[in-house]
Structure 1
Amino acid sequence: MNRNQSSHEQQSSVLIIYSWSEIVELISLVSLGWLIVFLFISSANAAVEHGDSLNEIEIHQVKSGLLLFKSEAGSRYQLAATLETDVKIEVTGMIARTRLKQTFKNDSGRWLEGVYVFPLPENAAVDRLRMQIGERMIEGVIKPREEAKRIYKKARNEGKKASLIEQERPNLFTNSVANIAPGEIVVIEIEYQQTVRYDNGEFSLRFPMAITPRYIPGAAVVSDEQIVAFNGNGWAMNTHPVGDASRITPPVFEGDKKINPVRLRVTINAGFTLADVESAYHRITVNHSVSNSTAVSLADAYEVIYAERDFELTWRPETASVPRAALFTEEKDGELYHLVMVLPPANLNGNDMRAARIGREVIYVIDTSGSMSGTSINQARRALSLALKRLHPGDRFNVISFNSTTDKLFSSVRKVTDQNLREAQRYVSSLEANGGTEIRGALEASLANQRESALVRQVVFLTDGSVGNEAELFTLIKQKLGGSRLFTIGIGSAPNSHFMSKAAQFGRGTFTYIGDVSEVESKMNDLFHKLETAVMTDLAVVFDDSESGSGVEVWPKRLPDLYQGEPLLLTARTKLNNQLVVVSGKRQNRAWRNSFQLQQSGNDSGIATMWARAKIAALMDRIHAGEKEKTIKPAVVNVALKHHLVSKYTSLVAVDVTPVRPISEVLDTQALPVNLPKGQAHARIFGRHAQTATPAQLQLMIGVMLLLAALFVWRHNKAVRVPGDV
């Protein structure tokens, strides 16, 4: 036997013996993992077993409206925290100021921390938090997000009352309220403001009240932090594309009754006489006063509705009062902040519109995922059917549907012929809603195969936008848009307005919202006018400040193209009071120019806040254009702290100085559930046997197993030696 052979045999013998050791070690680690999980779950259950038994009741004992969770005892239920919301909105000109009062009631016998994920308008500037304790009001302060969270956690652990407002998305926020005593009521007041929308002579205001469950793409990621705290209280685990999935997927209440009642009142101080005030989805009572003030309240019994669909209010001025321009100014800290609205003239009568109609290549994309089930898919099919009927000879088109996969009607765009249109109508009428919401594949397909053509290329996207990977999709649109224009149509009772509006912004198109089958035709006709007529481009604005070098700052910096009936809306910070402003643009190669005097006639409130909100939005948009987040974050934090605004990087926190919970008492964290939006089917979204709450015990088990597996691999790699190593 030579030396090499002997060495090889010895090495093989060692490897065989070590492999058996590895097997024994792996079995030991798995057993240890199961033991850790068992002991953790057992101790956690034991810690609350006594409290739970005190709060468990049987269904025949319920004498009033209560939120109940079914216990492991089968026929018994546990009392939970409940929420009521009172909303007061005051509209002055183009600014709406909203006070949102959330009342948390602890019906259980345990100390609770309530965590409530709630929607707000996508352009909301949240700037105030107050926590009411008895007769006292604790004012919230703005802090960098990490610092605010540390302050809140410290107060929570010390048994103090505390509240924390965090932004998950520009239209999605979380309110955490710590140390709610058994039987206690805690009131949290949140205030925000926004600009109202003006389009085709109509003002509109939306107050979102429901969250369509978001589709979370990608494989689950389990980190050390999640094993300790699970990072969030939602039903989804974090993934690589959506790192905060557990924070944006609140549990969905599954039951016959509705929860989360809402009272809502709106006061409109328009400054002119109103012709119509309407709400498409809720019955309202309207009272006009002699001072051009209009009061709107819900007409339902007790003026209460349940948070299951968005509230929308529209109002129109009398014909003689239709504004062509509006200016609002606020002086703050020695600087002037302006909100400017200018409505370019249409200059298109009926004959001009026919002459101006443009040849189009249109790609229609329709969402057929599970969240579109029920009334949403009916609205989408009808809207798309109307759109197909508006195509003209000489146009080209295709239809793409998507859920978990993407499907094209034709392999490439086709000419508009009777045969092709009939085939498209049959395809659309056969579509059903089921599966996931893989928007990325549909976007890529709709923006692919662009070629030089005299036709204007338009992508019309019909969806509820219920996805969690918005940032990834915005970046894709910026990269792949090319010469296309993207128009989004929000379908259903609670679409993701942040995704819909931003996708349209990055796509140089517009966003249309359709909340009911009855308004499909009117809303689509408005969109058709935009699609079929020339757009105003090359918009620019010049201030005297710009020439004097005194530092005018306008947001947005790059003005968007305007479609028929749309106004130019911008905010500016200047130092000069009385100066000339010139706005210019082009439509059908015809120049348009308008000038007006920027002069402070009064001191409107909230304009500085809207300027800061617009600047933060513009800074965040630069991340999707490829800039590093670490370079954008300091600028956002600086603006948000100066103007007291909640942002992705700043939060509002309120803490009472007096401890109320004895440290010996256990504090349970409870994620408050939300209603499934009206018209949606739970089984189509979550599956027949879905669980709406986070499977925390399962996540813990998976996390522990993955950590132990990583330890095993590390030890194995450390033990293995390459032949020849010393």
Structure 2
Amino acid sequence: MVNCCGLVSEKNKPVPLKSISVELQVRDHVASVSSRLQYVNEEEQPLEAVFVFPLPAEAAVCHFSAKIGEQEIVAEVQDKQSARDQYDDAVSSGQQAFLLEESEESSDVFKLSVGCLSPGQKASITIAYIIELSVQADDALRFCLPAVLNPRYKPAAPAAGVPEVSSASVIPYTLSLSVEVRSSDRISRLESSCPLAPLQFLDAQHTHATVNLSPGHCFDKDVELFLYYENSHQPSAVVEAGVSAAQSGSLMGDPALMISLYPEFPADVMSSLASEGEFIFVVDRSGSMDCKMHHGNDAQMRIESARDTLLLLLKSLPMGCYFNIYGFGSHFESFFPQSVVYNEDTMDDALKRVKSMKADMGGTEILQPLKHIYSQPCYPDHPRQLFIFTDGEVWNTKEVLDLVKSQVYSHRCFSFGIGEGASTALITGMAREGSGHAQFITGTDRMQPKVMQSLKFALQPAVGEISLNWTVPEGVTVDMLSPPINALFQGQRALIYAQIKGQSSEKTEGAVTLKYRLKDQPVTNELQFTLKPTEDTGLTIHRLAARSLIRSLEIEERTGGADAENIRRRTVELSIQAGVSSAHTAFIGVNKDSKQTVKGPLLQRRVPVPRMMAACYGAPMRMCAMAPPNLARNSARSRQMVPQMAFRSAMHKRTMAPQMAADSAMRCDAGLYIMGIECDSASYEEEAEPQKDPLLELISLQKAAGCWELNASLAAAFGKTEVEVTNQKAAQVDGSVWATVLALIWLYAYKLDQQVEWQFVAMKAASWIRSQKPDGLSQCVCDGNVLLGCQVTEDTLGI
């Protein structure tokens, strides 16, 4: 039986959530988000509304309150089990209560319970969180307001005798979003995946601006914002005063420091890419990879885009490295028993298998292939680079992250979330714990440019011997709150949190020095900061620092053995002290001043969230329902049942075939039969073969060493006949040299806007040409320009 995260109600009953309004405030690299959710009980009986929704994995939830009429209830952070018991007791006695808790299995899913709304009663819920903004390859800062909650695949999910009901086909609530940006740097522009009103600058320096989401936006997809500053690489340091009432020496009582480092590495060093390495590509082949990349008419299937990306990756690898490709679903398989040397034969073998890859492997079980990969011995002087592609959600996210972290010194992990709703906890977590880089491919984004950007990171010379040294006056010490920096990449920013202890009566300045070694070159960056806070930042830095420390403690607890209980206690204490969420705490608010208790049976309504799986297959879905519990229910039993439905499985991704469409029972990814999902078989009609990309056609013809052969296929890629191409070649020029020069000219002349995708292909080609030391190369380039109708210089080609 499907355990789903959707509308749980009788047919045609109104949904209690009416609207969501969000206020976003950005200060440099940090965002504060306040979401207000409006609930109305339009039914004739008392109601409990349950809303399971995604938040960014790194968000620090720091405020939760409810307003009913003129009565405002501000929730407080408590131990999770204590908060659950208090909520159950309040609801069972007819009191209004509100509970907000993080999923025990994934840090990017939260559940909100609004208990005991009387008929006709309204409730306004406010949830606030703060988050670091991630840096993109083009230096943009990315903020994502996730709307889509993808299924949490879990094998062998327990069945439950739950009646079936229909869900609304359209999410019946809307979103309003206002954005305010304040920066120490000049704001260049702000872009979005959704329609925005014009950006309004509020000062002449363009450091303060506002913008709104266009009215009428239906919250049926993630909202992405991309913010560009003029001097994004400028380092910064901000010191924030502690809470005067907090104990001195505690995190909240002392000043907190946030250092932003965004180093630019020397161009001459970055231009020399490493040729060694072991590259392992791990590709999701579960049923949902047969979904489209976006809703446009020209959208590729996700598995098709993955195949094209693997082609580019395989053609871009340096000769002599090692590589392997894994596919995973409910089980996994690898192209080779272990990584093999990259050469013409192994590349051709891999490409043949890539062409036949399908989304036919069931569910999303990523833990076992990772364990198998990590069990393989590493090759000396060939650092392991792991590239993971997935669109799904796993039920054991934290276990996966622990495994990646345990191997941090043996590899780097580059992760890619495909499609809206991809788990931020999984994607960003794997990259963070694997000292790599995370990318999200959403909307009309092409997968290939983002993947090739990460390959560039992987091929960069390794940064080693990273250290931070603090220079502070006597009597002052600095305690690091962030985990050590294990990796630095061109185009990546590191935010470092620290606690400043003690005081100095003389000096008020400090400094931090970042040192590292890049390709045998020592590099030093120094940043000055004041020990006296200059502005009130609303404890943003303290709470982000607490969140960072809490995450480290949670990982240590899961892997720490005997000290687990003490670590858990420290986590709860820090969470309560800082007022931020954790895996072991929850926000609880009870309206103890209400003079009227709610009597009678309490209905439970689940609020629908956008589900990508229905859109993937273009088919109507039937959602499952929960039987209305009695008011005086068993607290332990009810608390068991709701998280199970909310978190553990939601609605399984499924692999569907036309002949299954009429069945009332369908196979899910795990091979289980899922009751109550109905599909329109017309959704599965064969689509016409898409037109092939000329760029990929040309790249597919390149040899592993970097050259092209002169043949009919290459001529066709240029729109020529083999005779035309051959006749233009000078007699003394080798056929492969001529073919490779033509390919380079064509790339620079006609595909310059996609250079990030073919840059390594071109570098290999240019290197191969130079190694041949051909005669008459300049004339060869001139002849090639004439044939292809171009004007590309020899210097441009790098030959």
- TM-score (norm. length: structure 2): 0.69
Match of 1:345 in 2: 264
Question: What's the secondary structure of 1:681's corresponding residue?
Answer: helix
Shift of 1:679: 7.8
Checking the alignment, whether the CA contact within 8 Å between 2:7 and 2:625 is kept in structure 1 is no
Q: 1:682 to 1:669 in 2, by over 3 A?
A: farther
Partner of 1:216: 154
Distance 1:678 1:424 in 2: 30
1:615 aligns with 2:549: yes
Matched, 1:475 2:402: yes
Report what 1:59 is aligned to.
none
Distance in 2 between residues matched to 1:660 and 1:382, nearest whole Å: 64
1:336-386: CA deviation from partner (whole Å, max 9, x where unpaired):
11110122231024xx44434232221111001133331243443333333
- Listed one character per residue, the Cα deviations across residues 664-697 of structure 1 (whole Å, up to 9, x for unaligned) are 411122222222127853699xxx9875446899
Find the counterpart in structure 1 of residue 211 from structure 2: 296
After TM superposition, the score normalised by the length of structure 1 is 0.75
Determine which of 534, 543, 554 is the counterpart of 1:602: 534
Give deviations 1:248-295, integer Å, cap 9, x for gaps. xxx99855323442222221112322223112x322223131422222
Whether contact under 8 Å (1:361, 1:395) holds in the other structure is yes
Q: Work out the CA distance in 2 between the residues paired with 1:136 and 1:689.
A: 39
For 1:490, the equivalent position in structure 2 comes to: 417
Identity of aligned residues (%): 23
**Superposition map of 1:674-693 within 5 A:** 674-677=609-612, 680-681=615-616, 691-693=623-625
Whether the 8 Å CA contact 2:118–2:598 is kept in 1: the answer is no
Q: Give distance in 2, aligned partners of 1:485 and 1:624.
A: 22
Query: 1:263 aligns to what?
Result: 176
| Contact persistence 1:493–1:678 (CA under 8 A) | no
Contact 2:603 2:628 (8 Å CA) reproduced: no
Checking the alignment, whether the CA contact within 8 Å between 1:374 and 1:679 is kept in structure 2 is no
- Report how many aligned residue pairs link the two structures: 592
Q: Which residue of 2 aligns with 1:90?
A: 25
Do 1:158 and 1:659's aligned partners in 2 also have CA atoms closer than 8 Å?
no
Q: 1:384 and 1:262, CA in 2 relative to 1: closer, same or farther beyond 3 A?
A: farther
Query: Of residues 7, 22, 35 in structure 2, which corresponds to 1:100?
Result: 35
Amino acid at match of 1:368: R
Q: What is the CA–CA distance in structure 2 between the aligned matches of 1:569 and 1:359, rounded to whole Å?
A: 30
Cα offset for 1:304?
1.8
Distance in 2, matches of 1:191 and 1:96, equals 11
Q: Aligned partners of 1:284 and 1:380: how far apart in 2?
A: 31
- Taking the aligned partners of 2:334 and 2:283, their CA distance within structure 1 comes to 11
- Please report how far the alpha carbon of residue 99 of structure 1 lies from its aligned counterpart in structure 2 after TM superposition: 0.5
Q: CA deviation at 1:125?
A: 1.1
Counting only pairs closer than 5 Å after superposition, residues 283-322 of structure 1 correspond to structure 2 as 283-291=195-203, 292-299=207-214, 302-307=215-220, 309-318=221-230, 321-322=231-232
Q: Which residue of 2 aligns with 1:439?
A: 366
The correspondence of residues 697-712 of structure 1 with structure 2, limited to 5 A, is: none
Q: Which residue of 1 aligns with 2:240?
A: 330
- Alignment counterpart, residue 363 of structure 1, candidates 280, 285, 306: 280
- Do structure 1's residue 394 and structure 2's residue 320 form an aligned pair? yes
Letter in 1 for 2:548: A
Flag structure 1 segments of 5+ consecutive residues without an equivalent: 1-66, 223-229, 236-250, 704-726
Report which stretch shifted further, 333-342 or 381-390: 381-390
Contact 1:360 1:456 in 2 (8 A): yes
Alpha-carbon distance in structure 1 between the residues aligned to 2:31 and 2:437? 22
2:185 to 272, 276, 283: 272
Is 1:562–2:488 an aligned residue pair?
yes
Match for residue 109 of structure 2? 172
Shift of 1:115: 1.1
Per the alignment, residue 524 of structure 2 pairs with 593
Instruction: State the 1:481 CA deviation.
Output: 5.7
Distance 1:310 1:395, change over 3 A: same
> Match for 1:287: what amino acid?
L
Q: In 1, Cα distance between the equivalents of 2:393 and 2:281?
A: 18
Partner of 1:23: none
1:447–1:484 contact (8 Å) kept in structure 2 = no
**Distance between the aligned counterparts of 2:383 and 2:352, measured in 1?**
26
Alignment of 1:168-247 (within 5 A): 168=103, 169-200=106-137, 201-217=139-155, 220=158
Q: Deviations over 1:8-63 (max 9, x none)?
A: xxxxxxxxxxxxxxxxxxxxxxxxxxxxxxxxxxxxxxxxxxxxxxxxxxxxxxxx
Which of 303, 310, 334 is the aligned partner of 1:408? 334
Structure 1 residues 538 and 339 mapped into 2: Cα distance closer, same or farther (>3 Å)? same
If each structure's strand is expressed as a fraction of its own residues, which one has the higher value? 1
Q: Does 1:532 align with 2:459?
A: yes
The answer to which of 620-629 and 83-92 deviates more is 620-629
Q: Is the 8 A contact 1:555 1:618 kept in 2?
A: no
Q: Distance in 2 between matches of 1:393 and 1:525?
A: 17
Query: Structure 2: how far apart are the matches of 1:77 and 1:207?
Result: 29
Q: 1:341 is aligned with what amino acid?
A: S
Alignment of 1:61-210 (within 5 A): 71=10, 77-168=12-103, 169-200=106-137, 201-210=139-148
Q: CA RMSD for the aligned pairs?
A: 3.1
The answer to whether the aligner puts 1:372 opposite 2:283 as a matched pair is no
Give the match's secondary structure for 1:657. Answer: coil
Q: How far is 1:315 from its partner?
A: 1.8
Distance apart, 1:522 and its partner CA? 2.7
Instruction: Map Cα deviations across residues 102-158 of structure 1 (whole Å, 9 max, x no partner).
Output: 112223222111111111111111111121111332222222222222322222122
Unaligned runs of 5+ in 2: 1-5, 245-252, 293-301, 638-799
Cα displacement (A) at 1:533: 0.7
Residue identity in the other structure for 2:241: E
**1:583: how far off?**
1.7
Q: Deviations over 1:605-624 (max 9, x none)?
A: 11111111111111112134
Kindly state the Cα deviation for residue 221 of structure 1 after the two structures are TM-superposed. Answer: 10
Deviations 1:473-524 (A, max 9, x none): 2233344566222211111111111111222222222211111453323322
CA distance in 1, matches of 2:558, 2:7: 43
Cα distance in 1 for partners of 2:165, 2:403 equals 30
Kindly state the Cα deviation for residue 596 of structure 1 after the two structures are TM-superposed: 2.5
Determine helix, strand or coil for the equivalent of 2:612: coil
**Equivalent residue runs for 1:616-635 within 5 Å:** 616-627=550-561, 628-635=563-570
After TM superposition, what 4+ stretches of structure 1 lie above 6 angstroms from structure 2? 67-70
Distance 1:187 1:588, change over 3 A: same
Q: Distance in 1 between matches of 2:383 and 2:57?
A: 29
CA contact (8 A) 2:421 2:612 kept: yes
What per-residue deviation string (whole Å, max 9, x for no partner) do you get for residues 561-613 of structure 1? 11121122101110355222222112113221222322046124111111111
User: Distance in 1 between the 2:18 and 2:229 partners?
Assistant: 37
